[in-house]
Amino acid sequence: MRVVGFHSVFSLIFLLEAHVSISMCIRPEELSGKLFTHVDKKKMLTKVREMFDFSFTNYMRHAYPLDELDPIHCTGRGYDFANRQNINVNDALGNYQLTLVDSLDTLAILGNVSAFKHAVELITHSLNFHIDTVVQVFESTIRVLGGLLSAHLMITDPKKRFKSLRPDHYADELLSLAHDLANRIIVAFEGTPSGIPFPRVNLRLSSVETLGYSHTCLAGAGSLLLEFGTLSLLLKDPTYAETARRVVLQLWKRRSNVTGLLGTDIDLISGKWVNQMTGVGAGQDSFYEYLLKSRIAFDDKQMGQMFDSALRSLNYHLRGNETSCTRKDGLPSAYWNVNMYTGGITNYWIDSLQAAWPGILALAGAVEEAKCQHSIHLSIWRRFGLPPERYNLLSKTPDLSFYPLRPEFAESTYHLYRVTKDPFYLSVGAEIVLNLDKYARAKCGFATIHNVQDMSQEDRMESFFLSETLKYLYLLFDEENLINVNEEDFIFTTQAHILPISRLRQLAKLLPFNPFQSSTDYVEGPPYFITSTPESYVCQAVKSTSNVFE
């Protein structure tokens, strides 16, 4: 392994500083409101670019090769070797240049070709997964494996849409790194009686590390198919796709035979649900997202049937089978968290990860429902300026007050604009950008908001701020971006890494065995609408969504 010297890092910083424009001070009143002119778009595009370049440059200067930037003290954050049980940090970090890898395709989308090539050079010559770190399978898959695969697909695009990105003498090094990482974490899928993978592995040893936990969440176990499937197609080896797909089917078999719903956390040994709450937010969201996106990316009809069946159950039990955005009983029209066996409401909070659900609905063609759900999250944003991690719709107060720069609301805003072309969503995007700049900007980047009620900051900038939040906001205002011009041929992973649909489908045809055409163990689902009723919706009333947050 050749080690790239710090002069290479500083050359990347120089390129970024040359690319960045002078920071713009934009006031909300300077935007043209509902019209949202070309000039307005240009202003916001320039602003988002500046926010990315400011953050990324400082990551490279103060934090690289550590995983994250601490933007207040301008230092790096890496794996917590002193406390391996610190899963709040260590589940995301692995001492594998996380922010750099996660940001590769954002650099490409912003058109910073020189910085992209230098980043690829740094990664290919210095990244090594033979590290004594215990990482979460889900996070390492969606952030690192996905980042490597997306960048490789852009570099090797047979349509040459990204031809300027190809580094000299590129020899599939990013794919080789992705292959190595997958081989180190695939051990998590072996040896559990339930067939559901362990959530964590040691990268150096390629061995399972339980850290005292015997359960995993629905999203963590069941949201790996896009990345593992893409790797299978590129390697012409169906093993990885089969492995991830088999887990989805194991989880699906364990849904309630009364409601058709799945829980949140499941025991790896017994295969029984230890958290029986069903929702579309934290711990569950990307499971449903990947059912839908596997149909789109791989033409996996079975996953598509499962999404359709799941959506019917979710609409009936979580949404109360309502068709109006404003409920007659006064309750907000949210997808409530319910018990998977009874359909009864378990709590009255909505979390910030649930803000991705409107985008999933829009992608599924349920545009009016997507608009309705988006409006609920917009109300929360506007009440605080930035959203709390969890908001209680009954008490009208945050249950969890922090905001770690999550992308989900920006993601749904982007998808709804692409579907509707309604300039209202451009105005919403502008609000997001300006509030991030107002409240989260720190000395060297953008900081987690510790409490949205006083906008106090916390010294952490997670990699998804660059890989997702700013990517979606940039694409929202860049109508002519290659991704938008060819939007029917691209799908975003749950970490906003970009995959080419037509290429993946073509590669699937070349496999001797196509794992995405299997229908093993599929069952249509129970008659949820006959045997269960959402009677617990008749409960303490909440005002309609227009006033519930006042």
The CA distance from 65 to 77, in Å, is 9
Catalytic: 139?
yes
CA 280, 285, 287, 290 torsion-angle sign: positive
Q: How far apart are CA 429 and CA 425, in angstroms?
A: 6
Catalytic residue among 389, 459, 462, 478: 389
Give the C-alpha separation, 501 to 516, whole Å: 14
Which helix or strand (DSSP H or E) is residue 266 part of?
Answer: strand 265-267
Q: For 261, phi and psi rounded to 5 degrees?
A: -95, 160
Q: Would you call 521 a catalytic residue per the annotation?
A: no
3-class SS at 140?
Answer: helix
For strands 68-70 and 490-492, give the pairing.
unpaired
Question: Are the C-beta atoms of 387 and 355 separated by less than 8 Å?
Answer: yes
The upper half-sphere exposure of residue 504, i.e. CA atoms within 13 Å in the direction of its Cβ, equals 31
Residue 437's alpha-carbon distances to 47, 89, 294, 400, 477, in angstroms, are: 9, 25, 35, 22, 16
Q: In this structure, what DSSP letter does residue 491 have?
A: E
Tell me which of 139, 209, 265, 478 is the catalytic residue: 139
Which position among 53, 408, 468, 478 bears the catalytic label? 408
Give residues with Cβ within 8 angstroms of 363, minimum separation 6. 292, 293, 296, 415
DSSP assigned state of 403: B
Tell me the C-alpha distance between 181 and 159, whole Å: 27
Strand spans (E) along 412-502? 448-451, 456-458, 490-492, 498-500
- Which amino acid is residue 419, in one-letter code? V
Please tell me whether 75 is known to bind a ligand: no
Q: Where are the beta strands (DSSP E) in 354-429?
A: 390-392, 397-400
* Local structure of residue 354 (DSSP, 8 states): G
What is Dmax (Cα atoms) for the chain? 67
Instruction: Copy the structure tokens of residue 265.
Output: 């956390």
Q: Which two tokens stand for residue 310?
A: 């799941």
CB 405 within 8 A of CB 462: yes
Report the alpha-carbon distance of residue 128 to residue 18 in Å, rounded.
30
Tokens of 540: 């303490």
Q: Closest Cα to residue 277, out of 338, 230, 331?
A: 338
List Cβ neighbours of 171 (8 Å cut-off, separation of 6 or more). Answer: none
Catalytic-residue membership of 172: no
Residues making up the chain, counted from first to last: 550
Whether 479 is a known active-site residue: answer: no
| Closest among 202, 310, 321, 206 to 262, alpha carbons compared | 310
DSSP assignment letter at 69: E
> Which of 67, 105, 285, 437 does the annotation list as catalytic?
285
Which amino acids are annotated as binding site for Ca(2+), given as ranges? 494
Catalytic residues: 139, 285, 389, 408
**Binding-site residue set:** 494
